[in-house]
Structure 1
Amino acid sequence: MLPRLPSPLTEVVDERLRGVRLLLKRDDLIHPEIPGNKWRKLAHNLAPARAAGRVVTFGGAYSNHIRAVAAAGREHGFATVGVIRGEEHLPLNDSLAFAVERGMTLTYLDRATYRRKTDPDVLAALRDRFGPHHLLPEGGSNELAVRGCQEVVAELGDFDVVCCPCGTGATLAGLARGLRAGQRAVGFAVLRGDFLADAVAELAGHRRNWTVDTRFHFGGYARTPPRLHAFADEFTARHGVAVERLYVAKMLCGVYARAASGEFAPGTTVVAVITG
């Protein structure tokens, strides 16, 4: 299946935005099994993956990245190995079952070892077990992924601010790299903690045209309290766009809050990247 590029750009008309113009970059429509920033991150990794013949990557038991890599391997002809955090639990959940159905081999690391997943001895053990491979970090966030995310900006036209959910920082870093003078990027953290700024700074280089907003994680990763669901349900009812809850709903809630508070001034054109 060919990716749908450029992905659609649609406007949201909503009085609650207080004069802020909001555009949705519908990257969720790029590909049915490799949507959003997953496609962007994998696009430039496909060539080395095919050359190596196998990809080894990391993720939690509900990782969308694991699903996307498995689907990409099936579609583009390379083997995939998912290194999963924690113990195996049977039957497999929907995410891991999907990955296995697409041909992925699953292996597991206890949480202490998983925290050391970038250590030379852990990586050497994976090479010994699975042979030569193209290694993708958790979330797929390497230099090639940042390059793919940077390409989004060329599809956006004129705008003032581009926003995205922020998990590992690669999407935000890529957006920051593509901005023109006077434009800025805001990443809305979906996890608790202040570590994302350091990750983005490393990936974005010396650019300072971006910020990470840590106020809208709603308790941390995978936390989706009733008020977040209520916001997402109302957005869908008003605008006909289904809203993913772990990432996209948190970003949109942050965008609306910034518009209401004046942090996004009336007349500002904001693009929200719908990543999945």
Structure 2
Amino acid sequence: MFTQKIQSHTKNISVFMRREDLIHPFVSGNKFRKLKYNLLQAKIENQETLLTFGGAFSNHIAALAYAGKEQGFKTIGIIRGDELQSKILVNPTLKFAQECGMIFKFVSREDYRHKTEVDFIEDLKQEFNNFYLVPEGGTNEFAVKGCQEILTDEDAEFDFVCCSIGTGGTISGIINSILPHQKVLGFPALKGDFLKEEIRKFARNENWELITDYHFGGYGKVNPELIAFINQFYLENQIPLDPIYTGKMVFGVMDLIKKNYFPENSKILLIHTGGIQGIAGMNLKLKAKKLPIIDFNE
């Protein structure tokens, strides 16, 4: 996969980015990796329908809808927030997924919390009959297997591999494929370090660390400083960053470089996990609040 050198504003640290966002125009980054073996498994099981979960601007919902269409599956999205039912046409992600043929079931945020419970899943089976269930965010053993293919033999030169974290599948795959001299740094998009236990379910070594200081207030939260950073980063590197995941991770890495976190002459590989489709939805929110938007045409 294409690896690009980026501006780090320091002579002692080399920073490169793995452009996983370029894998596929609609199923990009870690979503391509996570769905690869899940879709193969669904075919092995002779399933015709994929069912999954997500929020208003979910990268996973958009990717699964397109992948399902491309590979001949019916798709069902269980969407968090019943108020969104009347907003499909003004929501870029949901509109795209619907155009790909996805059927939606909107549930309240309270009901959505039960999405992993047996009774909740059984009710969905009663309603939709047979389906192959892909978890929220796509993380399961098949997703981790796909993410283990992100790194290649050529990546042995790097000392640190950095990625953003949503549900923990991507970093788990990366952890399982690093070499003994390498360390993985994960940047959660959510508050807290509860993801450690989720990662340990799949990760086979302990050469990793979570950096929990760059969530910008929590999942989906941004501020003008982050937006300005994303816009400036594009001007310098011609690489678009999404504001939910990779943008926060890159901001964090650059800040840690300034704070001398990394030893001199370190070589760092940043994993771009995609998510660019979510920018349109974020800009709608920013415009509504009269805040600066993400603009790659500046």
TM-score by length of 2: 0.87
Q: 2:7·2:236 contact (CA, 8 Å) conserved in 1?
A: no
Amino-acid identity (%): 39
Deviations 1:133-189 (A, max 9, x none): 111110000100001111111265221111111111111111000011111111101
Equivalent AA in structure 1 for residue 4 of structure 2: T
Q: Which residue of 1 aligns with 2:59?
A: 64
2:48 aligned to 43, 46, 53, which one? 53
Q: 1:181 to 1:56 in 2, by over 3 A?
A: same
Deviations 1:205-246 (A, max 9, x none): 4x1011111100011111110000111111111112122111
Q: Which residue of 2 aligns with 1:200?
A: 199
Q: Which residue of 1 aligns with 2:218?
A: 220
Q: Which residue of 2 aligns with 1:97?
A: 95
Q: Distance in 1 between the 2:166 and 2:79 partners?
A: 17
Deviations 1:10-42 (A, max 9, x none): 111432x45111110000000000000010100
Q: 1:82·1:107 contact (CA, 8 Å) conserved in 2?
A: yes
Q: Distance in 1 between the 2:237 and 2:33 partners?
A: 25
Q: Which runs of 5+ in 2 are unaligned?
A: 275-298
Q: 2:82·2:107 contact (CA, 8 Å) conserved in 1?
A: yes
Q: 1:155 to 1:136 in 2, by over 3 A?
A: farther
Q: 1:259·1:265 contact (CA, 8 Å) conserved in 2?
A: no
Q: Distance in 1 between the 2:28 and 2:211 partners?
A: 24
Measure how far apart 1:196 and its partner are.
1.2
Q: 1:187 to 1:96 in 2, by over 3 A?
A: same
Measure how far apart 1:73 and its partner are.
0.4
Q: 1:18·1:266 contact (CA, 8 Å) conserved in 2?
A: no
Equivalent AA in structure 2 for residue 10 of structure 1: Q
Paired residues for 1:83-232 under 5 Å:
83-89=78-84, 90-92=86-88, 93-154=91-152, 156-157=154-155, 158-205=157-204, 207-232=205-230
Q: Does 1:21 align with 2:20?
A: no
Q: Distance in 1 between the 2:52 and 2:62 partners?
A: 11
2:6 aligned to 7, 12, 15, which one? 12
Q: 1:156 to 1:123 in 2, by over 3 A?
A: farther
TM-score by length of 1: 0.94
Runs of 4+ in structure 1 off by over 6 angstroms are none
Q: 1:18 to 1:198 in 2, by over 3 A?
A: farther
Q: 1:176·1:210 contact (CA, 8 Å) conserved in 2?
A: yes
Equivalent AA in structure 1 for residue 3 of structure 2: L
Q: Distance in 1 between the 2:195 and 2:213 partners?
A: 13
What's the secondary structure of 2:221's corresponding residue? coil
Q: Which residue of 1 aligns with 2:241?
A: 243
Measure how far apart 1:195 and its partner are.
1.1
Aligned length: 268
What's the secondary structure of 1:10's corresponding residue? strand
Q: Which residue of 2 aligns with 1:4?
A: none
Q: Which residue of 1 aligns with 2:251?
A: 253
Measure how far apart 1:201 and its partner are.
1.3
Q: Distance in 2 between the 1:75 and 1:88 partners?
A: 29
Measure how far apart 1:259 and its partner are.
1.1
Measure how far apart 1:49 and its partner are.
2.6
Equivalent AA in structure 1 for residue 75 of structure 2: T
State the Cα RMSD in Å. 1.3
Deviations 1:61-107 (A, max 9, x none): 11110000000000011111000112043231111111110000100
Q: Distance in 1 between the 2:242 and 2:207 partners?
A: 27
